[in-house]
């Protein structure tokens, strides 16, 4: 449904972005599930699809959490890049759809962990255009994370090391840190 002509025309009308292309491979999209204690640091999404090189223009997030409240954690936070502060918090309640333009200053995340016994679910889809600067060789393809003062040192280190080390090494280090070794 999210890749259908009527929905893409709706997105174009709402956002003013013409010639949107859905991502049938769902790179970075699909069903997202965050279990208790989980969070997602404040970041700016990737600029271009690493598969097609198309420019990332929109993300559509549809929440699937019945009876969710702010106290359950996991609210989507929208941040102001000038002040590095949260300007809007969106509780991920069932059926709520967020349509967010993608650009260099689109800082967002859910840094407050999901509470015990809860599981935050969302369906995520990205939409692209064949815009200026869309090229697969762009070195800024990766998601860019914001380092915040209240983060643990291990979280800051992961953000700094992520572009330098293969994912398997990052995963191994995180596993060692969790196990207390």
Say which CATH number the domain at 30 has: 2.60.120.620
Give the SS3 label for residue 2.
coil
- Pair 59, 102: CB distance under 8 Å: yes
Range of the domain at 33: 5-140
pLDDT in tens, 92-145: 999 999 999 998 889 999 999 999 999 999 999 999 998 654 444 444 456 666
- Pair 62, 131: CB distance under 8 Å: no
Instruction: Determine what percent of the chain is predicted with pLDDT higher than 70.
Output: 81
Q: 167 and 81: one domain? A: no
Overall average pLDDT of the 9-15 stretch? 95
Overall average pLDDT of the 86-92 stretch? 97
And the tokens for 45?
């999404």
Q: 55 and 71: one domain? A: yes
Overall average pLDDT of the 76-105 stretch? 95
User: Beta-carbon neighbour count of residue 38 at 10 Å?
Assistant: 15
Highest mean pLDDT pick, 13-17, 162-166, 177-181: 13-17
pLDDT at residue 181 greater than cutoff 70: no
Q: 10 and 56: one domain? A: yes
Q: Which pLDDT value is given to residue 61?
A: 97
Q: Provide the mean pLDDT of the chain.
A: 85
Q: 127 and 155: one domain? A: no
Per 3-state DSSP, the chain is made up of helix, strand and coil in percentages (nearest 5) of 20, 30, 50
Instruction: At 35, give phi and psi (nearest 5°).
Output: -90, 175
Q: 39 and 103: one domain? A: yes
96 or 156, higher pLDDT:
96
Question: Which pTM does this prediction carry?
Answer: 0.75
Give the N- to C-terminal CA distance of the chain in Å, as an integer: 46
Q: 83 and 156: one domain? A: no
Q: Which pLDDT value is given to residue 33?
A: 96
Q: 123 and 45: one domain? A: yes
Residue 119, CB-side half-sphere exposure with 13 Å CA sphere: 4
Overall average pLDDT of the 150-154 stretch? 72
Task: Report the domain count for the chain.
Answer: 2
Q: What's the angle, vertex CA 8, arms to CA 90 and CA 75, rounded to 5?
A: 10
Instruction: Determine what percent of the chain is predicted with pLDDT higher than 90.
Output: 57
DSSP label of 47: S
Q: 129 and 153: one domain? A: no
């Amino acid at each position: 449904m999210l890749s259908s002509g009527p929905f893409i025309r709706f997105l174009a009308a709402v956002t003013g972005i013409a010639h949107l292309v859905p991502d049938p491979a769902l790179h970075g999209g699909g069903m997202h599930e965050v279990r208790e204690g989980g969070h997602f640091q404040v970041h700016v999404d990737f600029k271009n699809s690493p598969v097609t090189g198309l420019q990332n223009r929109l993300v559509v997030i549809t929440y699937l959490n019945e009876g969710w409240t702010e106290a359950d954690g996991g609210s989507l936070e929208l941040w102001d890049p000038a002040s590095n502060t949260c300007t809007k918090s969106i509780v991920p309640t069932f059926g709520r759809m967020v349509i967010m333009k993608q650009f260099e200053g689109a800082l967002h995340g859910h840094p407050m962990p999901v509470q015990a016994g809860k599981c935050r679910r969302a369906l995520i889809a990205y939409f692209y255009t064949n815009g200026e600067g869309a090229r697969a060789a762009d070195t800024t393809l990766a998601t860019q994370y914001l380092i915040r003062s209240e983060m643990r040192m291990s979280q800051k280190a992961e953000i700094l090391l992520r572009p330098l080390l293969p994912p398997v090494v990052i995963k191994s280090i995180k596993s060692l840190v969790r196990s207390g070794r």
